[in-house]
Structure 1
Amino acid sequence: MTNSVLIDRLGNWNPQLLRELRGRLKPQTVIAAVSFSVICQILLLLIISPNTGSLLESRWLPVWKIITLMLPYVTFTFGSYSIVSDIGHEQKRGTLNFIRLSPSPAWQILLGKMLGVPVLLYIALGLVVPLHCFAGLRSGISPPLIASVYLMLVPGCAICYSTVTICALRGETQGLKNQQMPTALAAFGGAAIAGFYISPLYTSWNINITWRPLLASSEILGHQKPVVLWFFLPINTIGVVSHTFTLAVLGTTTFVLWRIMLRSFDKPRSSAIGKRQSYAILACVEVLALGFLLPPSLADADYAILGAIFLYVLTVILLFLLMLAICPQRQALLDWTRYDSPSWQNLILSDRSPMLLAVVIHLIIANVVLVPWLFWIGIGTQKLVETALLILCTTNTILIYATLVQQVGATKIRNPMACAHCRLSLWSILAPLMLIVLELMPDRIPASAALWTLFGYGFWQFDQPTAIPFVGLGILAQWLFLAFLLWRFQKTMGKLKAGT
């Protein structure tokens, strides 16, 4: 009777979660998960203490360290694999579209997926918790640090699972029916993202920032970590401050990813994010990164230059990702030409309008942060001409990329995003490789700087004064090529408006 009441309550709260639990909590699967967890714990104890039948008190610390460091990798990797694989199979069977038509809200369905699909993993990891806590207490680890490990794991899972779910929802697996390999590859791709990118970043952040105040008395997870400043304020010297800052960053990131995920679930054919959200994301990431890159002293020139390089690379990568995320496809552009008025407000804010003006606004936001930073650390004042050429080259390159991508998006082809990636790869990777093969390098042939600049690599000529005039020539070539791309895109939009 009690189980029936609990099942009814769970079904009323989240029907999708109940569906996932019923499909996975079979006696044989639960026994397999429990057995696997117990065997792994026994093997860990045997490996740590190979010459004794029981662990010595001094050997409990390695057990705690191994479990602590492995928790995010195991949780993120296997959980991501199961979620992406489940979504891929739902798409192939056509049940994902059926789920979209259910009266349950999207957040409830996706939350049910995240809680229910990896439930066997949660059971296996839950059995590790007693050993982990016991090993930590026996080795002298403070209870707040042990609690913090699990506290940080919850938003970490939310970020990781949201990221791979977005990748799965934005993928094209729904068109690959009766093919098992693409789903398996997509699942391995999600696991790779979690294991090679998210997990190391999560672990490094927590060790260096979140847990540092709790590790100050000993070298539990490595050597003593340096003090980290954010806008000259130390954020990893007091436990309350480090945890508050981390939870604020993780909470904001989770909120943004959830909004993107809900949009991808409700509107699979729309752009990944809206233009308003993209402006806010760019501004927040730029400010967050700038806070860490401010040098403690202006005399530390090396730190300032490294910070400038990192901020420049981060800005370019972020602009590229946001450009792909806000690009409307052909059907959206058709709807915009038919039903929306071509006003400035629509061009800036409407998710169905072409993204070119929005990309210009993104560049303005980025330069508002980047340009004052270059002048503040002295690069802009010492090399004014080179800095101006660098900014122009980067701006032109992003606009060329944006126009290429939007032109592909407006074209009637089967997979526009794959085609856009191919074109960008040809322009930004293959063409420079050809220049290298032909040995057309600015240090040997200064005139080749024009070609390097045309393909977006004008920053290589900072220390070569003879190549600077050719960089300017390359920027002029960028403008001419951009004008040609804009003319082609205007013709494409004219055809869309005419209905041809």
Structure 2
Amino acid sequence: MFKVRFGCTQHTLRDRLFLIHLSTHPLLVLCHFSTGASIMLPNLLLSFSNWNPQFFREVKGRLKNRNLTLTVLFSFLAQFALLFFFWAALPTPKVTASSHYCTGKELYNVNDCVLDAQGNILVNWQLWWTDLFHVLTWMLPFILIVAGVYLLINDLAKEEQRGTLNFIRLSPQASQTILLGKLLGVPVLVYLGILLAVPLQLGSAGQGGVDTAELLSLYLVVPAISCVFYTGAIFYAFLGGTHGWLGAAIVSGIYAIFYQIWQGSRYSPERDFIGPDFWYSLPIASNLGLLTVFTLGICTVATFWFWQTINRRFCNPNLTLISKRQSYAMTICIAVFILGFPFQEFSEGEYYRPMSDLFMLIVFNSIWFLVLIAALTPHRQTLLDWARYRQTRTSGRTLRLTKATLRDWILGEKSPAIAALALNLLITIAILTPWIMTWGEPTEQLQGLISLLLNATFMLICAAIAQLILFSSSKRRSVFALAIVGGLIALPPIMMLTIGLRPDQGSLPWIWSCFSFVSIQSASKMTILLGLLGQLLVLTGLSAGLTHQLRRAGESEMKALMAKPHKSITSNILS
């Protein structure tokens, strides 16, 4: 096939014709107003292909006539339907006595309708346009995030099934270039549909009197949040997720929670902000600039860590998603971040309950450590290689070997994750302990520390169980690990609530569960001691069982390796 040299990269004649055809598409020709602009578009796209060939491939595969036509039509039809819905909500003479958009006396969030001299209803058009802007403000990011997450997960799952992802790994492009091309190219039709709706949003903002600073903050925050969810979608796909609908459903649920909170704060006079009012005593609720910087900072840190993990896994799919070094830094970031929310300012007469804040921190930390268990725990073949390597180093018992072994357990890429998870839990406890020690009551301080300790031992038990299952020879060990650990967390509380065993009774089963912190205040000292000793015994037994299996596996692997040369020598002598 003929090649055309353009810029720094060689392009096939088919690629060149595709770009010229794309620039003259009847729906996209509206975007440029002269022949010179039409000629510049292929050059612009070719410069993009020089910058990121993977992005060019993704765009080339998606910007077909049919896809472009459907995207543009769907975007305009959705905007028309939304405008029709809002137009139908306007009050009409002789039919509507009160409406949200009338200008009369307000009663139960609706206003009485007032007529002018000609008998027409006076409409609060500014409120109408503002409501339209609010709907677009929530609807457009929802489509952008959910559709993009679905497409990214599905695309990576198909690439993995076809084996083309390994082929892409062999290309001379840098891994960051390939991943960036995926992030920008796979949802390109979603970007187009959203961009076509931006003029309506800007027009409604102008007619509704929306502040320019608020609009600028919106257009800064939405791309940042989208980056977090998009890199998180690739993280989920590399974690083993193959169903795009499941990732989209999870994101939709998270989005719906924030939308409901916003709806409640919109109509509640007590709250006008989503979430806490302060972070380390900084008034993030009352200052739009501070809130924007705070959100952008969170998104930047989250995107950075997601990017580090997906780049690591893309370069070597046999590695765990997160290295042990990275996990320690991530745990520090998350612990420092969530610790800022208990530092709130209370008005006179309000009572501060630190245990309630600690319970919320424990819940968020538990979710994070479940992610760590999934991302840090190596699978069977990796552990077999590590056990064989460890078996070759057990002949000497020097101090140097002990230090090397400890370093391997804490920082090694192939060693079991139990020690690393324990160190992560210690990091969290070390960060939260100074805050707990500032509590006024010594009894509450002791209860807080015990709650952290009980939660840490329970999470280590879950990690040990997951590691034992993933070390088994079952083909569906990942599914079994997820089901057993999930059941261990969810089933005991459900069963206890079903039989009427409440957390405030301070019973031993609640102390042994994942939610031990809810009954710590009503439990006796003996119950807490028995619960802690029981968890430590279970953890010790699981750790001993895992160590025994690793030792046996290492010996078996060494015997198999030693037998192979012996068999080959014997066969050569006999021949």
- Show the counterpart of 2:46: 8
Instruction: Tell me the equivalent position of 1:477.
Output: 534
The residue that corresponds to 1:253 in the other structure is: 302
Aligned to 1:396: 457
Structure 1 residue 367 and structure 2 residue 429: aligned? yes
Match among 462, 465, 470 for residue 520 of structure 2: 462
1:329 equivalent to 2:367? Answer: no
Instruction: Select which of 348, 368, 374 maps to 2:410.
Output: 348
Contact 2:433–2:449 under 8 Å retained in 1: no
**Structure with more relative contact order (C-alpha pairs < 8 Å, separation 6 or more):** 1
Contact (CA 8 Å) 1:76, 1:157: kept in 2 or not? yes
Counterparts in 2 of 1:117 and 1:123: CA distance versus 1, 3 Å: same
CA deviation map 1:292-351 (0-9, x unaligned) = 212325985445333222112222222222122111222222333344765222211122
Quote the residue 1:420 is aligned against.
Answer: 481
In structure 2, which of residues 503, 508, 526 is the aligned counterpart of residue 450 of structure 1?
508
State the SS of the aligned residue for 1:292: coil
Question: 1:210-248: per-residue Cα shift (whole Å, max 9, x none)?
Answer: xxxxxxxx99x9974498222122234444433222222
In the comparison of the two structures, how many residue pairs are matched? Answer: 471
d(CA) in 1 for partners of 2:144, 2:408: 43
Between 286-295 and 326-335, report the one with greater CA deviation.
326-335
Q: Mapping of 1:134-283 within 5 angstroms?
A: 134-171=203-240, 173=242, 186-197=243-254, 200-201=257-258, 224-225=272-273, 228-283=277-332
CA distance in 1, matches of 2:511, 2:271: 44
Q: Is the 8 A contact 1:272 1:325 kept in 2?
A: yes
- 1:274 Cα offset (Å): 0.8
Helix, strand or coil at the partner of 1:272: coil
Look up the match of 1:35: 73
CA contact (8 A) 2:362 2:455 kept: no
Give the deviation of 1:2 after TM superposition. Answer: 4.4
Cα deviations by residue, 1:173-192 (Å, 9 ceiling, x for unpaired)? 4xxxxxxxxxxxx1111211
Deviations 1:47-72 (A, max 9, x none): 1112699x984322222111111121
Whether contact under 8 Å (2:511, 2:519) holds in the other structure is: no
Q: Structure 2: how far apart are the matches of 1:463 and 1:27?
A: 65
**Hey, what does 1:490 align to over in structure 2?**
547
Is structure 2 residue 182 aligned with structure 1 residue 113? yes
Amino acid at match of 1:454: W
State the SS of the aligned residue for 2:437: helix
Distance 1:70 1:487, change over 3 A: same
1:81 equivalent among 131, 135, 150: 150
Contact 2:410 2:420 in 1 (8 A): yes
Secondary structure of 1:103's counterpart equals: coil
* 1:445-478 Cα distance to aligned partner (Å, 9 max, x none): x7xx33433344443443445x441332232222
Question: How large is the RMSD of aligned CA atoms in angstroms?
Answer: 3.1
SS of the residue corresponding to residue 341 of structure 2 reads helix
Conserved 8 A contact 2:280-2:344: no
Q: Is 1:404–1:420's contact at 8 Å kept on the other side of the alignment?
A: yes
Q: Partner letter of residue 452 of structure 1?
A: W
Which of 344, 356, 367 aligns to 1:306? It is 356
* Maintained 8 Å contact 2:355/2:448: no
1:34/1:124 contact within 8 Å kept: yes
In the alignment, which residue of structure 2 is the partner of 1:317? 367
1:255 Cα offset (Å)? 0.6
After superposition, the Cα gap between the structure-2 partners of 1:246 and 1:425, relative to the gap in structure 1 and judged at 3 Å, is: closer
Name the CA distance, whole Å, in 2 between partners of 1:483 and 1:418.
25
Q: Is the 8 A contact 1:61 1:136 kept in 2?
A: yes
The answer (yes or no) to whether the contact 2:359–2:517 under 8 Å persists in 1 is no
The 8 Å contact of residues 327 and 406 in structure 1, kept in 2 or not, is answered as yes
Please state if 1:23 is matched with 2:69.
Answer: no
What amino acid sits opposite 2:56 in the alignment? L
Unaligned runs of 5+ in 2: 1-38, 93-122, 394-403, 558-575
Contact 1:356 1:402 in 2 (8 A): yes
Q: Counterparts of 2:236 and 2:550 in 1: how far apart (Å)? A: 29
- Following superposition, the deviation at residue 413 of structure 1 comes to 2.5
Cα drift, residue 142 of structure 1: 2.2
Worse overlay, 140-149 or 226-235: 226-235
Check 1:426–1:85 CA distance in 2 against 1; reply closer, same or farther (3 A cut).
closer
Instruction: Find the aligned partners of 1:95 and 1:40 in 2 and give their Cα distance.
Output: 35
Give, in whole Å, the separation in 2 of the partners of 1:20 and 1:408: 39
Change in Cα spacing, 1:245 to 1:202, as seen in structure 2 (3 Å) is farther
The equivalent residue for 1:183 is: none
Residues 415/141 of structure 1: CA separation in 2 closer, same or farther (3 Å cut):
same
Counterpart of 1:177? Answer: none
Specify the code of the residue in structure 2 equivalent to 1:243. T
1:168 deviates by 1.4
TM-score by length of 2: 0.74
Structure 1 match to 2:471: 410
Task: Work out whether residues 133 and 205 of structure 2, in 8 Å CA contact, stay in contact via their aligned partners in 1.
Answer: yes
SS at match of 1:128: helix
Give yes or no for contact 1:450–1:475 (8 Å, CA) kept in 2.
no
For 1:176, the equivalent position in structure 2 comes to none
Alpha-carbon contact 1:271-1:325 (below 8 Å) kept: yes
Deviations 1:157-177 (A, max 9, x none): 11111111111122164xxxx
Confirm or deny: 8 A CA contact 1:73 1:194 kept in the other structure: no
Shift of 1:76: 0.6
Distance 2:73 2:250 in 1: 28
- The alpha-carbon deviation at position 407 of structure 1 amounts to 1.6
**For the structure 1 residues 79 and 493, does the alpha-carbon distance in structure 2 shift closer, same or farther, using more than 3 Å as the test?**
same
Q: What code does the residue aligned with 1:373 have?
A: W
Is the Cα contact below 8 Å between 2:58 and 2:182 reproduced in 1?
Answer: yes
SS in 2 for 1:102: coil
Taking the aligned partners of 1:432 and 1:196, their CA distance within structure 2 comes to 23
- Segments of structure 1 that go 5 or more residues without pairing to the other structure are 174-185, 209-217
Contact 2:157 2:237 in 1 (8 A): yes
For the Cα contact (< 8 Å) 1:294–1:304, is it kept in 2?
Answer: no
Q: Does residue 357 of structure 1 match 2:419?
A: yes
Q: For 1:164 and 1:22, how far apart are their aligned partners in 2?
A: 22
Distance in 1, matches of 2:501 and 2:277, equals: 43
> Which is richer in helix?
1
CA distance in 1, matches of 2:194, 2:508: 57
- Equivalent residue, structure 2, for 1:49: 87
| Distance in 2 (alpha carbons) for counterparts of 1:255 and 1:88 | 23
